[in-house]
């Protein structure tokens, strides 16, 4: 009887252990990124291959992402800030140093781009997607469109235009319009740019970073300031949309893949970054989201129509007048001051 009872107890214990194993959840990778910034099918593929779950939260500006993290938001593993923001986060000890032994696909990163990159050694970031800003408009509604930031002065488009709700991009557009560097720290130049944006603001429906895509595709907006990838996505929905690269120059940026220092899944985070730089994955992802992943091995896998699109690759003349937004250290406060004045202006 005692032997029988012992066996029953052992069987019950084994069953309890099995039940506990069955309840054990798959590891979860938390990604904090821009909206619509990775192809869903690729997310599903990674989940299947690695037996994990990916949870994606989105932000609409580098500043809001940074503010949320600095305010104490935790639990994120992989984040995709723009390069200038990466420099700030690295300086403040927010990022994990990358283990390149876990990132063999970084050998595919475009060496030409790395000569311009802020973190050229990829010590704590890997380039994810290249983009530039520009203007898009509806050809049937906007007559005499010209490749210039002066389009934002068009009173006939009043209330039907938007600009990005991003201080460096929007102030930068005005700086380029005036012939200044979008990384200037000169107070007089910044004040002049402030006055230009305030003048443009009177013609705008709003500053915003997400709804402009659907807005121009639907015809709610006639001209928008936005990121090239977003504008190409909108163009795929509405063939009436055309892209303008202002001749005065514009910003070229790269959003990077980083791992936060307090990541609970650093190995899985490395695997996800490496997965995104597999050439076939990088090409599929680029074509889906309409941004160019700086992955040399992926270029040959992309359609010529995509690679030759001026919103993907700017003309040499315009490219020569473009700049990368850089972290300005203590002088970032000058841009915050100007942006606050722009937002407060009527």
**Annotated binding residues, as ranges?**
84, 166-169
Q: What share of the chain is helix, strand, coil (3-state, %, to 5)?
A: 50, 20, 35
Closest CA to 131 of 245, 248, 266, 277: 245
Provide the 3-class DSSP secondary structure of residue 205. strand
Residue 254 near residue 130 (C-beta atoms within 8 A)? yes
Alpha helices in the chain (DSSP H): 2-23, 40-50, 62-70, 83-91, 111-114, 167-177, 187-201, 211-218, 228-237, 266-276, 279-289, 296-299, 304-307, 316-319, 332-344
Between the alpha carbon of residue 48 and those of residues 39, 128, 314, the distances in Å are: 15, 22, 37
Residue ranges of the annotated binding site for spermidine are: 84, 166-169
| DSSP 8-state assignment for residue 51 | T
Taking alpha carbons only, the member of 41, 16, 130 closest to residue 83 is 130
How far is the C-alpha of 163 from the C-alpha of 285, rounded, in Å?
Answer: 26
Separation between Cα atoms, residue 227 and residue 133, nearest integer Å: 4
Give backbone dihedrals phi and psi of 278, rounded to 5 degrees, phi first.
Answer: -65, 130
With H, G, I as helix, E, B as strand and everything else as coil, classify residue 147.
coil
Residues 6+ apart with CB under 8 A from 141: 219, 222, 240
Question: How is 259-306 classified by DSSP, letter by letter?
Answer: EBTT-S-HHHHHHHHHHHTSHHHHHHHHHHHT-B--BHHHHTTS-HHH
- Rounding to the nearest 10 degrees, give the CA dihedral for residues 268, 295, 183, 222: -100
């Amino acid at each position: 009887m005692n032997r029988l009872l012992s066996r029953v107890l052992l069987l019950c214990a084994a069953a309890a252990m099995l039940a506990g194993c069955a309840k054990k959840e798959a590891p979860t990778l938390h990604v904090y990124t821009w909206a619509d910034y990775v192809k869903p099918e690729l997310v599903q593929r990674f989940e299947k291959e690695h037996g994990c779950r990916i949870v994606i939260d989105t932000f609409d500006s580098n500043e809001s992402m940074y503010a949320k993290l600095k305010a104490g938001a935790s639990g994120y593993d992989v984040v995709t800030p723009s390069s200038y923001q990466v420099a700030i986060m690295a300086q403040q000890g927010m990022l994990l140093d990358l283990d390149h032994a876990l990132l063999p696909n970084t050998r595919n990163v475009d060496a030409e781009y790395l000569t311009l990159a802020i973190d050229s050694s990829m010590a704590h970031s890997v380039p994810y997607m290249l983009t530039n800003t520009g203007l898009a408009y509806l050809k049937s509604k906007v007559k005499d469109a010209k490749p210039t930031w002066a389009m934002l002065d068009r009173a006939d488009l009043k209330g039907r235009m938007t600009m990005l709700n991003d201080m460096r991009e929007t102030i930068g557009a005005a700086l380029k319009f005036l012939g200044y560097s979008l990384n200037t720290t000169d107070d007089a130049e910044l004040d002049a740019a402030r006055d230009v944006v305030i003048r443009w603001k009177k013609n705008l429906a709003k500053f915003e970073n997400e709804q402009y895509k659907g807005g121009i595709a639907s015809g709610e907006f006639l001209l928008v300031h936005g990121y090239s990838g977003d504008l190409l996505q909108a163009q795929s929905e509405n063939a009436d949309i055309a892209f303008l690269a202002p001749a005065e120059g514009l910003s070229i940026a790269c959003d990077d893949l980083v791992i936060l220092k307090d990541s609970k899944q650093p190995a899985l985070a490395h695997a996800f970054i490496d997965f995104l730089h597999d050439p076939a994955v990088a090409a599929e992802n680029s074509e889906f989201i309409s941004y160019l992943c700086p992955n040399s091995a992926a270029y040959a896998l992309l359609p010529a129509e995509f690679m030759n699109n001026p919103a993907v690759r700017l003309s040499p003349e315009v490219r020569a007048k473009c700049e990368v937004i850089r972290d300005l250290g203590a002088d970032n406060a000058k841009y915050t001051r100007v942006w606050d004045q722009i937002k407060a202006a009527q």
